[in-house]
Amino acid sequence: MPSIESFPTKRGTARFTEDAVHFDESVVGYIRLLYRKYWQSNTWWRKGIFVGYALGLLVGLGWAINAVWSGDVLLLAVVIGLLAVLWLANYARGFRSPDRIRLNAIEEVAATRGEKGLTRPRLVITYTDDESTHKRRVNLPSL
């Protein structure tokens, strides 16, 4: 059976060493993956998805700048507050994002295939760290 030394994730790469799994992920890695998978594709609709991502980012950035510029900080505070609440809820459920997990600390790996066009395939790694159990969600490239 062939050995797997690394595999692509949504934002980069996961690679195995003798004692740990390392996650090399970044926003730049995510943009690079989008560019390779969508813009460099030979089908027009994949290029359209890439343009949609780019326009969505620009519209969101423009909205945030406009909200600050016009003094509509209440709406901006609500959006930022909602994002903070969602992040805290994930943190309270035990999800963390370490860049390295020791192999002997991993207790379970659960895989979810995802729904094509709706959700991504993902892994949930359950591991122990300092006598506490945590989880690490690893989003995989889109179906």
In a domain, 83, yes or no: yes
Q: Encode pLDDT of 66-86 as tens digits.
A: 888 988 888 888 989 999 999
Task: Dig out the tokens for 40 from the structure.
Answer: 């460099």
In a domain, 21, yes or no: yes
In a domain, 41, yes or no: yes
Q: Encode pLDDT of 38-70 as tens digits.
A: 889 889 988 998 999 899 999 999 988 988 898
Q: Quote the pTM value.
A: 0.77
In a domain, 37, yes or no: yes
Task: Dig out the tokens for 141 from the structure.
Answer: 């490239």
What pLDDT is attached to residue 107? 95
**Alpha-carbon distance 67 to 53, whole Å?**
21
What pLDDT is attached to residue 131? 86
For residue 85, what are the domain limits? 6-139
In a domain, 1, yes or no: no
In a domain, 53, yes or no: yes
- What percent of the chain is modeled with pLDDT above 70? 97
Q: Is 125 exposed, middle or buried (0-12, 13-18, 19+ CB in 10 A)?
A: buried
In a domain, 73, yes or no: yes
Q: Is the pLDDT of residue 1 over 50?
A: no
Residue type, 70: S
Residue type, 30: Y
Tally of domains in the chain:
1
